[in-house]
A = this chain, B = another copy of it.
Amino acid sequence: MEFKEQLKKYQQMINNELEKYTRKEQVPEKTLNESMQYSLMAGGKRLRPILVVATYQIFKQDIENCMPYAIALEMIHNFSLIHDDLPGIDNDDFRHGKPTNHKQFNEATAILAGDGLLNNAYIVISEDIQKQAKKIEKAEETKKQEYIEELSRKVKVFNEFTKAVDRMIAGEYVDTEYEGKQIAEEYLEYMHKNKTGALLKLSVRMGAILANCTKSELEKLSIYAEKIGLAFQIKDDILSEEGDEKILGKPVGNDKELKKCTYVSKYGLDEAKQILEKITKEAIENLEEYGEKAEFLRQLALYIKNRNK
Contacts and interface: CB of A to CB of B under 8 A. Distances in A.
A123 B172 contact: no
A81 interface: no
B176 A112 contact: yes
Interface residues of A, number: 59
A26 interface: no
Interface in A57-96: 79, 83, 86-89
Interface stretch (A130-138, A203-211, A269-277): A130-138
B116 A89 contact: no
A182 interface: no
Contact of A156 (B88, B120, B130, B166): B130
Contacts of A176: 108-109, 112
Nearest to A112: B173
A205 to B, nearest CB: 15
28 contacts: A28-B187, A29-B170, A32-B170, A32-B173, A83-B112, A86-B88, A87-B88, A87-B107, A88-B102, A88-B110, A89-B107, A115-B118, A118-B119, A119-B162, A119-B165, A119-B169, A122-B162, A123-B162, A123-B166, A126-B155, A126-B159, A126-B162, A130-B158, A133-B148, A134-B152, A136-B148, A137-B148, A148-B148
Interface of A: 27-29, 31-32, 79, 83, 86-89, 102, 106-112, 114-116, 118-120, 122-123, 126-127, 129-130, 133-134, 136-137, 148-149, 151-152, 155-156, 158-159, 161-163, 165-166, 169-174, 176-177, 187, 190-191
Closest A-B pairs by Cβ, 5 of them: A88-B107, A29-B170, A126-B159, A32-B173, A123-B162
